[in-house]
Structure formats: structure tokens, C-alpha cells
Structure 1
């Protein structure tokens, strides 16, 4: 129990250091733009590809399961659009992005820890949590709505 409380306390201390005001806004903005490109723009391809196929599979499944002479032909397109808008684009894309971006961030920070780059930042007096984590969080918060919008359109086209 004590170990769990200690871990939670260390986490909150890290988040306090992360969300403090950046010392140099110019450096933060530069890092923010790099993270937008690395985490957001580089994810557009996988988002479009997966959304296209999810939309195609939803359309096929609905067409096969709702075959009735009483149903109008536009029902399949309408239901596919509603499913992509309400459910799949936001939830599935965020899960896929969490896996892709999360592994990318973990490998980058792990490599920096092993090569002692994070320790060097601390020695230089830089708030390493704020310098490394805050631009990544800010970039993903601002780029995920755009990626979900791309996902909606690709899913409907699929």
C-alpha cells in the first residue's frame, strides 16, 4: 500500500513539474512545432488507411445484415455515416493513435534516459519534464481533433 501511494505521489509531482509555465516560450513553441510534425502529421497516413477500411467493412456488414425490401437504399450510407461520426472515428482512432504515438514517445524518452540526456538537462538547470513532456501533450491535444476529422471523411469515403 505504501509503495502504491509513493508511486501516485511521484506521478503527481511529475505532473506538477510538467504543467508549470515554460521558462522559454520560444523554445517551447519550437518543440511544439516539432512534436506536431512528428506525432501528428506523420500519423495522417495510418489514420486515413485504417479509417478507409473501417468504413468499407461497416458498409459491407450493414448491407449484408439489413437486406429488406422495406428499407430504402440510402439507409446503408446513412447508418455508416452515423456510426463513423458517433463511434468509430473518435474511439478507434484515439486507441490506434495511443498505441502508435505512445510507443514512439516511450522509445524516445527511454533512449534519452539510457543515454543520460535527461540527466544532462537536469544538470544544466532545465526542467526536463516541462521541456520534454509538455510539448508532446500540447501537440497531441491540438492535433487529435484534426486527425479524427480526417478519419470521419476517410471512413465515409470507404
Structure 2
């Protein structure tokens, strides 16, 4: 679940190199870029994709959707889906970080680009609220895993 194989790591790193990650967080997945060299002259060193949901469990892609256009309100279902998303996201991101570490990269910073940071509780439309809750869940799952791996992260609004 860590990558779909589209990674294009340009060259092997022979010594530890400080790097930063950029993520575009979407519902159930994230695009990933690895930036190396300096902040004044960054080099794009890798591009990949990680899955933040399990394709065998379709409800993990949109965990707050009950049916077309409906917000899931069953707390048992929501709890199961949220735990699954957090676990899957943690596993995928940990595999990604370890893979870069094994290639000689030391990831210190990350940026998560998101489509919205609106408080879902302030959204009246249940369907739109479901999307906002999903964005919040995938973003927070990634932030927690990055923090657990001592990678400082910032969230940027698209």
C-alpha cells in the first residue's frame, strides 16, 4: 500500500542526505514528492503515490459516506472505518519513510497540501460535511504518523 510503483528515484544516495517531503492529500491517497538539496535550490528527487485506504475495503476511501450523497451517522461503522484509515495511513507512510531512510535520506520536514481546512461542524449540507470530515481524517492520520516519526509538518491550503 505504500506506493503504486510510479517512483522515479533518480540516483542512489551513498551518504545520508537531508530531504523534505511534499504531499497532496486526497480522499484515500496522497501524491508524494521528495525534495533534496537546499531550500534555495531544491531538486525533485522522487515522485510517488501512497494509498491511505484499502481498495479491498471501499468504505475506507470515503468513510463518512453512508450512501450516495448521505452522511454516515452509525457510530460503530464510523469508528471501525476511522481506525482502519488511521492504521492503513500509518502503515503506508511508515513504509514510505523507511524506504527513503534505507536509500540514505533523512526526512526532517514535510508539507501537506490540502483542499480545505473548514471546520466540518460548520457545514450545514451533510454530503459536503462528509467530504470535509474525510479530508480532516486523512490529513490528521498523516500528521500523526509524521509526528510519531519525528518529521515536523505544516499544512498548506491549496
The answer to whether TM tops 0.5 is no
Report the structure number with the largest CA radius of gyration: 1
Higher helix share: 1
TM-score scaled by length of structure 1: 0.33
Q: Answer 1 or 2: higher relative contact order, Cα 8 Å, separation at least 6.
A: 1
TM-score scaled by length of structure 2: 0.33
